[in-house]
A = this chain, B = another copy of it.
Amino acid sequence: MLGKAKLLKVYLGESERYKNKPLYQYLVHWLKEKGIGGVTVNRGIEGYGADKVLHTARFLELSSDLPMILEIVDVAEKIDPLIPEICAMVPKGLVFGIDINVYKHGKEQP
């Protein structure tokens, strides 16, 4: 997937679940099954989304629902068909795409 590709970023809550699993773990597994090139997950330390509820690591009692950020990379032809399903799995989150230019992916390189 060298050259033009797509970075899809998905923001969701750490406590969200899907089919008896943490949603972010389910998504990583699901994207791997679909053959998507690469996925990483970061846990934020603070943030809010569409519902304007602040989640933060500063107070112990709120720290179990921190923002999780997935970065999903592949060509648009592989990512775009999955976007409706991803949006349906992330009921309260944020999903957006960015155009990127890939210089290296595993052993592929120019």
When all copies of this chain in the complex are counted, the total is 3
User: A39, B50: Cβ atoms under 8 Å?
Assistant: no
Q: How many residues of A contact B (CB 8 A)?
A: 54
User: A95, B104: Cβ atoms under 8 Å?
Assistant: yes
Q: Is A100 an interface residue (CB 8 A)?
A: yes
Task: List the B side residues contacting A50 at CB < 8 Å.
Answer: 37-38, 105-108
Cross-chain contact of A28 among B32, B39, B46, B101 (Cβ < 8 A):
B46
Interface residues of A (CB under 8 A from B): 5, 7, 9, 11, 24-25, 28, 32, 37-52, 54, 58, 67, 69, 71, 73, 83, 86-87, 90-110
Please name 5 pairs of A and B residues whose Cβ atoms are closer than 8 Å in the assembled complex, sorted by A. A28-B54, A38-B48, A40-B67, A92-B107, A98-B99
